Amino acid sequence: MTTQIQSPELDLDFMNKRGFLNIPVDPALDLEYEIERLKKEKNAVILAHYYQESEIQDVADYIGDSLGLSQQAAKTDADIIVFAGVHFMAETAKMLNPEKKVLLPDLKAGCSLADSCPPHLFRKFKAQHPDHIVVSYINCTAELKTLTDICCTSTNAVHIIESIPKDQPIIFAPDKNLGKYLMKKTGRDLLLWDGACMVHEIFSKERITKLRLRHPDAKLIAHPECEEIILDAADYIGSTTGLLNYTINSDANTFIVATESGILHQMEKRSPHKTFIPAPPNNSCACNDCPHMKRNTMEKLYNAMTYELPEIILEDWIIEEGRACIDRMLEISAKAGL
Ligand code: 13P
Ligand code: SF4
């Protein structure tokens, strides 16, 4: 039997198809320096979400929430956008920049919330309610965006719902927890898709209550993707940027943080004298890490920038039909000063 020796190009192609470049990186390499060098050499920008590993946040040109990341993607003049986040975020950047190369260090960095709303099922659901318009949380696939009238993020969701005439029925997808929160905040009756985020559904009300007894002055702050029982107990509810700003501006010194633990890096950086406690989950697992966000590593980031792979590729019709709902979201956000 003969062994087929593959050329480096074929190997790259093979690895790319599997989702990331599994190329060993010399541990002696100064990755921060190398990534900075590659940024300049290739006119690349790194956009990172707050849930990324700390060292990835530290090499990023911009760190933000889903709205901030979309706004940055819409205005960048870089030739290459390197997205340190998950698939739907990089897809959004690609839809806003069809002519640019958008890289995601690991294409398998998905999202349980986006997965909870398969477009073929949603299409049927939508057809059963032809009088409704569709507002989708940005945490959904590019194909779902083709079935959406207006996109939203947790920063602008209230503004987006309130921008729609009161007599217009609305389907809200895919996050039922954010949807329920919006119903309370806006007084609107939304028809909810039954989706949720695996990370934000894991918090234990019982364990948080016990923790608060030990830290009576601590503020409980929660992301609106959390379940109602957690949100009802929270002192503040907001997007990742909202949560971060709250910890900076609050007089409190201790915060129990009910969202993905990556945000603690910026909270600790901005308020080094304050204490941040990740909200406890309802099991004994390590913590509140999003396994999708944490698929990205410095090594994968370095390889992605070196080889300009893996790249987000979208079919033309997806970009043509999916972009309008993002543009509408950006327009409404700009008018609201967000
Ligand atoms: P924001 O950063 O927009 O609040 O979203 C949180 C999230 O779950 C991203 O996946
Ligand atoms: Fe998706 Fe939840 Fe991970 Fe955000 S934290 S990327 S919503 S699975």
Exposure string over 108-133, b if 16+ CB within 10 A, otherwise e: ebbbbbbbbbeeeebeebbeeeeebe
CA–CA separation, 338 and 318 (whole Å): 27
CA–CA separation, 70 and 149 (whole Å): 17
Q: List strand residue ranges (DSSP E) for 5-118, in order.
A: 44-49, 62-64, 80-84, 101-103
Superfamily of structural domain 12-110+292-313: NadA-like (3.40.50.10800)
For ligand 2, atom 1: residue with the closest CA: 111
Sketch the domain layout of the chain as residue ranges: 12-110+292-313, 113-197+319-335, 205-278
Superfamily of structural domain 113-197+319-335: NadA-like (3.40.50.10800)
Residues with Cβ within 6 A of ligand 1?
Answer: 65-66, 139, 153-154, 197, 223, 225, 239-240
Residue 14 pLDDT: 80
CA–CA separation, 63 and 47 (whole Å): 6
Neighbour-count burial of 303, counting CB atoms closer than 10 A to its CB (0-12 exposed, 13-18 middle, 19+ buried): buried
- CATH classification for the domain delimited by 205-278, as one of 3.40.50.300, 3.50.50.60, 3.30.450.20, 3.40.50.10800: 3.40.50.10800
SS3 label, residue 14:
helix
Report whether 114 contacts 144 (CB < 8 A): yes
Helix (H) or strand (E) holding 135: strand 133-137
Q: CA–CA distance from 170 to each of 41, 154, 189, 324 (Å)?
A: 47, 17, 8, 17
Check residue 281 and report its DSSP letter.
Answer: B
Residue 8 pLDDT: 54
Per-residue pLDDT tens digits for 68-94: 999 999 999 999 999 999 999 999 999
Residue 44 pLDDT: 98
Residue 1 pLDDT: 41
Q: One fold for both 12-110+292-313 and 113-197+319-335? A: yes
Provide the whole-model pTM.
0.95
CA–CA separation, 197 and 289 (whole Å): 12
- Measured from the alpha carbon of residue 242, the closest ligand is 1
- The strand pairing partners of 45, in sequence order, are 81
- Measured from the alpha carbon of residue 140, the closest ligand is 2
Q: List strand residue ranges (DSSP E) for 138-248, in order.
A: 150-152, 170-173, 190-192, 219-222, 236-237
- The stretches in the chain having pLDDT less than 70 are 1-10, 284-287
Residue with tokens 């790194």: 46
Per-residue pLDDT tens digits for 271-318: 999 999 999 988 766 568 999 999 999 999 999 999 999 999 999 999
Residue 287 pLDDT: 63
Ligand 2 atom nearest the C-alpha of 111 is 1
Residue 22 pLDDT: 86
For ligand 2, atom 4: residue with the closest CA: 111
Task: Tell me how far apart the terminal alpha carbons of the chain are, to the nearest angstrom.
Answer: 63
